[in-house]
Amino acid sequence: MNILCIGDVVGECGVKKVQKELHHLVEQEKIDFVICNAENSADGMGITEKIFKQLQQVGVHVMTMGNHTWGKKDIFKFIGKKELLVPANYSKDAPGNRYGIYTCHGKRIGVINLIGRVDMNVLSDNPFTTVDAILKKIKNDVDIIIVDFHAEATAEKIAMGYYLDGRVNAVYGTHTHVQTADEKILPKGTAYITDIGMTGPADSVIGMSKEASLKRFVTSLPERYKVGEGEAMLNSVIISISDEDCRTIKIHRRNL
């Protein structure tokens, strides 16, 4: 089984790139299941029901979120959809699905969304103990487990990879919008990469307008961020898993 994980979709530019490329990518790489981080898909902050449906229509099976989960109030109209996940270590009183179990080719795939606590400016519970509780709950109900860890600090992401090594099939990072080159299979068999990158305007500052970003950095004056324009890129990784014993075989980057 091949599972495609698409990096943070940024704005309309990123959504259109997924719409344009996903069908061909699925055919070329023989993809069976698609996970996409969509927390920046609506003007860089949040997701709308329209975008949720657009991504579903082109073949995205699960959408994960992050620190901009509540960026668009429209989300409360469809927050309960099983194809949409919010970080599992959000407050227990926050709405949304913390994980999901999906069937694909007879295999039960568990997808877990977590958010980091280092430099994230989000009040959240401990992601390490949260994922422990989820794994204990679902261990007999899944064949494959994939974790999207939406976090800023590379150290926190790497620590999570080793913490879950041998207990899940893959841990991949999102949020920083810059794809890292450290994809590997960890010692106990878990696929890992610190960040899978973004899907959005290539000629930008992590998806945002260069002009607005430069003004902030050069002058130290406040400037409203806006999504960049122009040609888009699609950053992703593909995780290959054995059909016989659900062992992770390979992780490799695929970019368009």
Q: What's the average model confidence in pLDDT over 180-205?
A: 97
Tokens matching residue 81: 């959809």
Which amino acid, residue 97?
A: N
Is 68 part of the annotated catalytic residue set? yes
Residue of 23, 24, 68, 252 marked active site: 68
Query: What pLDDT is attached to residue 173?
Result: 98
DSSP letters along 193-234, please? ES---EEEESSSBTTB-HHHHHHHHHH-------B--S-EEE
Query: 146, 239 in Cβ contact below 8 A?
Result: yes
Which amino acid, residue 13?
A: C
DSSP letters along 30-46, please? T--EEEEE-TBTTTTS-
Tokens matching residue 16: 């259109």
Residue 214 has pLDDT above 90, yes or no: yes
pLDDT, tens digit, 9 for 90 and up, residues 26-56: 999 999 999 999 999 999 999 999 999 999 9
Residue 170 has pLDDT above 90, yes or no: yes
Q: What's the average model confidence in pLDDT over 9-21?
A: 98
**CA end-to-end span of the chain:** 21
Cross-strand pairs, 168: 165
Mean predicted lDDT score pLDDT of the chain: 97
CA-only gyration radius of the chain, Å: 17
Query: What pLDDT is attached to residue 225?
Result: 80
Q: What's the average model confidence in pLDDT over 70-77?
A: 97
Distance from C-alpha of 59 to C-alpha of 57, rounded to nearest angstrom: 6
Write out 166-188 in H/E/C secondary structure: CCECEEEEECCCCCCCCCEECCC
- pLDDT tier for residue 224 given thresholds of 50, 70 and 90: confident
Query: What pLDDT is attached to residue 46?
Result: 97
pLDDT, tens digit, 9 for 90 and up, residues 116-169: 999 998 999 999 999 999 999 999 999 999 999 999 999 999 999 999 999 999
pTM of the model as a whole: 0.97
Our CA dihedral for 153, 158, 164, 168, rounded to 10 degrees, sits at 100
pLDDT, tens digit, 9 for 90 and up, residues 55-66: 999 999 999 999
Query: What pLDDT is attached to residue 223?
Result: 83
Identify the structural domains of the chain with CATH numbers, from first to last.
2-255 (3.60.21.10)
